[in-house]
Amino acid sequence: MKNLMPLSDGKLMVKTYLENKSKVLPTDLTLPNTETYDSDAFVALLNQPDCVKIRLYYGMNEKLEICAIFVGVDSNGNEITIKGQGISSIVNTDDEYVIEVSTKCPPICPPENDQIIKKLL
């Protein structure tokens, strides 16, 4: 299956990122260790007609924090957004949405025993 890698390789990449992230950016920019999302947002995205892939963009918020932004991709490579109508938490709207709003670590981090990096050590 495409896009899969052994967990051990993923752990090593996370460890390398955490050890080096402060070396690659100026001190006024922040890179999160993790971002956690509700699965409902991804289900809503994948349920859009002809959504066959997910694309990741990197953005930056007003606090100069790097953020992951997800959109869907159809079978022709075109981007797909989440349509507001039909989403249970959004009522009577024609707006379109992408996935970004996450719980960032820091400040809110998963328990140490759940973190992929801790399982590497």
What is the tens place of the pLDDT at every residue in 25-79? 777 777 888 889 989 889 989 999 999 999 999 888 887 788 899 999 999 999 9
Nearest C-alpha neighbor of 83 from the set 54, 40, 45: 45
Q: For residue 19, is it left (φ>0), alpha (ψ between -120 and 50) or beta?
A: alpha
Query: Which pairs from 108-115 meet CB under 8 Å and 24+ separation?
Result: 109/33, 109/34, 110/34, 110/36, 115/34
pLDDT bracket for residue 93 (50, 70, 90): low
pLDDT bracket for residue 121 (50, 70, 90): very low
Please give the pLDDT value at position 116.
Answer: 63
- Say if CB 35 and CB 102 are below 8 A apart: yes
pLDDT at 16 over 60: yes
The structure's pTM equals: 0.77
Q: For residue 8, is it left (φ>0), alpha (ψ between -120 and 50) or beta?
A: alpha
Alpha-helical runs (H) found in the chain: 7-24, 39-46, 116-120
